[in-house]
Amino acid sequence: MKKNLNLLSIVFLAFTMNAYAQESNNPIDTLAAYVQKMNTTVTNQSKLKISGYIQFQFQKADTLGINSFAGGNFDAKTDNRFNVRRGRVKFAYAGTLSNYVLQFDVTEKGLGIKDAYMNFTDSWLQAFTVTGGVFNKPFGYEIAYSSSQRESPERARFTQTLFPGERDLGAMLTFQMPKASPWNFFKIDAGLFAGNGTNPEFDKKKDFIGRVGIVKLTPNEKIKYSFGLSYYNGGVYQGSVNTYKIWEDNGVKTFFKTPIGTDTIGSFQKREYKGFDAQITIETVIGLTSLRGEYVMGIQPGQSKTSTSPTTDFTKVTAPATAPDTYIRNFKGGYIYFVQSISHTPITLVVKYDFYDPNTKINGNNIGLTTTGAKVSTAADLKYTTLGLGAILAVSNNVKITAYYDMVKNESSSNLTGFRKDLKDNVFTLRIQYKF
């Protein structure tokens, strides 16, 4: 009797929940129709995925007000700070062979857009994907490697300098065969980008960025290895009348105006990077061991006090004298990670070494020297190396705690005030991340 009552209750509930499923008088049909409708709703809703993470951290620097690549410069009166380093919310809708992605970054500094792009894949080979919008530049490995997964709190100094924000506005074509294909290991990304980061486009020139890479596993699945070659060929709008390059005169290496320096407004200074990256993960008795490395070299048009390319719109400057001069530098940079997970524990240890030499044509005491008619080289020409040591505790699939110590070493020059010796600018970071 009780069972019958329960059955009746379920049937009644089904009827009341779906007033429109009345075509059949059979309660089972009604229930089936309701379940079908629910199933369709759930399937549609599951196409929209919301994910995100928050990184809250405490940092302690060696001295007050240091310039730092460990999450930004410290304020003048501060050698320790709390901050929300990243607060990401990502909305991704996966349609048929297509995706729509919006990602925001919400911190105490405000709201910023990180990603806004769509992509679609051809239905025939399912190998060609077109992506358009604001998204990660397809260069190297570290740019696309999510900050929520990365073992070091920040990307390498050269990545932050050459690719601030990691994203750009553009269109990209990707070739990669579907997962089931034996050629899935091979991937090509090639795109044209505005070259101004996430800023609106203001000049006519597009930057080409591309990467060719492979990812392979050994047959016993104990070793995973991958590598890639990247290339960037673009230009930076010349808003000033002056362009400077390093030359040597009377034993002094410094910046001299280029011969065509007086008529370069409106032209584009070449921005060219070549990169190689490789990664390997090996499973051993002590856990997973990963080695990742990247090396980049090239030509970078920057400014006197920074080697970062300007992203400001100088096309509308009416008085060229107010636009900053361009300083052309040959650079090289790289990093290597050693990551060791400890078997049967949620602990991972990391050692990272990175270097960035923004100006390979000048070093040591030449930096800061000048001569008649030349421009002096600055702290933007100093080479930096950073050795980072860290430990990560994955508390759960949501929570991760990272303790990390950055030991920063700068090139010194007796001719550069403030940089006659290595600065005290090491930073300790204690970060807690919640990811969903």
Q: Which residues bind other proteins (CB under 8 A)?
A: 149, 179-182, 217, 221-222, 224, 281, 283, 287-288, 341, 344-346, 348, 393-397, 399-400
Q: In angstroms, what is the minimal distance from the CB of 394 to other proteins?
A: 3
d(C-alpha 295, C-alpha 303), whole Å: 23
Residue number with CB closer to other proteins (144 or 241): 144
Q: In angstroms, what is the minimal distance from the CB of 102 to other proteins?
A: 23
Q: Of 332, 292, 355, 313, whose CA–CA distance to 143 is shortest?
A: 292
State which H helix or E strand residue 421 sits in: none
Residue number with CB closer to other proteins (278 or 288): 288
d(C-alpha 381, C-alpha 427), whole Å: 22
Residue number with CB closer to other proteins (16 or 123): 123
Residue number with CB closer to other proteins (148 or 308): 148
Residue number with CB closer to other proteins (155 or 400): 400
Structure token digits, residue 150: 């990365």
For residues 152, 157, 159, 164, the Cα torsion angle rounded to the nearest 10 degrees is 110
Q: In angstroms, what is the minimal distance from the CB of 86 to other proteins?
A: 17
Structure token digits, residue 360: 């390979």
Residue number with CB closer to other proteins (184 or 315): 184
- 3-state SS assignment for residue 253: strand
Ramachandran sector of residue 109 (left: φ over 0; alpha: ψ -120 to 50; beta: rest): alpha
Q: In angstroms, what is the minimal distance from the CB of 344 to other proteins?
A: 5
State which H helix or E strand residue 17 sits in: helix 2-17
Q: In angstroms, what is the minimal distance from the CB of 434 to other proteins?
A: 13
Q: Could you give the count of Cα atoms lying within 13 Å of 90 in the half-sphere of its Cβ?
A: 21
Determine the distance from the C-alpha atom of residue 80 to the mean position of all C-alpha atoms in its chain, rounded to a whole number. 25
Q: In angstroms, what is the minimal distance from the CB of 212 to other proteins?
A: 21
- 3-state SS assignment for residue 416: coil
Q: In angstroms, what is the minimal distance from the CB of 343 to other proteins?
A: 8
Beta-carbon count within 10 A of 246 CB: 20
Residue number with CB closer to other proteins (190 or 394): 394
